Amino acid sequence: KNEVEQSPQNLTAQEGEFITINCSYSVGISALHWLQQHPGGGIVSLFMLSSGKKKHGRLIATINIQEKHSSLHITASHPRDSAVYICAVRNRDDKIIFGKGTRLHILP
Amino acid sequence: KAGVTQTPRYLIKTRGQQVTLSCSPISGHRSVSWYQQTPGQGLQFLFEYFSETQRNKGNFPGRFSGRQFSNSRSEMNVSTLELGDSALYLCASSLVGQSSYNEQFFGPGTRLTVL
């Protein structure tokens, strides 16, 4: 079993829909990151969380440390949000472990 | 402020050769991390450097090595290349190391193909 699990693996939605991507982890962590990777490979760091909730524009990230779970939400989704979203955790040994990613496709 | 730059962007090598990839962090950033991304394994952590010292290393064989210079620029080297080393190699810089609370800024990556 992977130490960081994401669901769903693939998600197709219509423009305007509310999107939720989930990340569960099985190790103790000091921080959790959400990354966005567009076709062509460029990666952008969206959020870094150690507790609670963060919001940036239409993106919201939450983390529940007790349940070892984080969610990334996208409100009013747009085709430009189409990308791979990757959850990564920094464990107690300070190593970063990545989920396999969620491929999101927003249809116009 | 210029972003993280990586050179070269694309590279083709043959099995058994060795390769050196370069990463220039954002000005003022002292921490550089390297990652390998393949379709099968996804993103995997290679190593992290801070102030010329390797502070963390992932589970890769000794053929993978790196170093950081006094200007924070970093290089990674892969010796005796294998077909499975074909991947996108990404580097990321952050302001300081020794902390879990620093945002990382990624470079565009070097796509290595081993024939």
Verify whether the Cβ–Cβ distance B101 to A101 is below 8 Å.
no
Look up residue B25 and give its DSSP letter: P
pLDDT tens for residues A88-101?
998 888 888 999 99
Q: Which residues of chain A does B104 touch, with a Cβ-Cβ cutoff of 8 Å?
A: 33, 45
Q: Are strands B10-13 and A96-98 parallel, antiparallel or unpaired?
A: unpaired
Burial environment of residue B23 by CB neighbours within 10 A (0 to 12, 13 to 18, 19 or more):
buried
Contact present, A11 and A21 (Cβ < 8 Å)? yes
Q: If residue B109 lies in a helix (H) or strand (E), which one and from where to where? A: none
Residue of A nearest to B34 (CA): A96
pLDDT tens for residues B76-89?
999 999 999 999 99
Percent of chain A with pLDDT over 70: 99
Mutate to test the interface with A, among B6, B9, B32, B43 (most CBs of A within 10 A): B43
Verify whether the Cβ–Cβ distance A101 to B58 is below 8 Å.
no
Q: Pull the structure tokens for residue A18.
A: 């509310």
Q: Cis omega before residue A8 (within 30°)?
A: yes
Q: Pull the structure tokens for residue A97.
A: 């472990």
CB atoms within 10 A of CB A37: 21
End-to-end CA distance of chain B: 37
Encode chain A (108 residues) as per-residue pLDDT tens digits.
Answer: 689 999 999 999 999 999 999 999 998 898 899 999 988 778 999 999 989 999 999 999 999 999 999 999 999 999 999 999 999 998 888 888 999 999 999 999
Whether B90 contacts chain A with CB within 8 A: yes
CA angle B112, B91, B7 (to 5 degrees): 55
Verify whether the Cβ–Cβ distance B106 to A42 is below 8 Å.
yes
Q: If residue A89 lies in a helix (H) or strand (E), which one and from where to where? A: strand A83-91
Verify whether the Cβ–Cβ distance B42 to A44 is below 8 Å.
no
pLDDT of residue B96: 72
Closest alpha carbon to A59 in A92, A19, A28, A27: A19
Partners of A64 in beta bridges: A69
Provide, for chain A, the percentages of residues in helix, strand and coil under a 3-state DSSP scheme, each rounded to the nearest 5: 5, 60, 35
pLDDT of residue B13: 97
Q: Which residues contact A31 (CB under 8 A, 6 or more apart)?
A: A48, A49, A50, A89, A90, B100, B101
pLDDT of residue B98: 47
Q: Backbone dihedral region of B84: left (phi > 0), alpha (psi from -120 to 50 degrees) or beta?
A: alpha
Residue of B nearest to A50 (CA): B101
Partners of A66 in beta bridges: none
Q: How far is Cα A101 from Cα B50, in angstroms, rounded to an integer?
A: 27
Whether A27 contacts chain B with CB within 8 A: no
Verify whether the Cβ–Cβ distance A100 to B56 is below 8 Å.
no
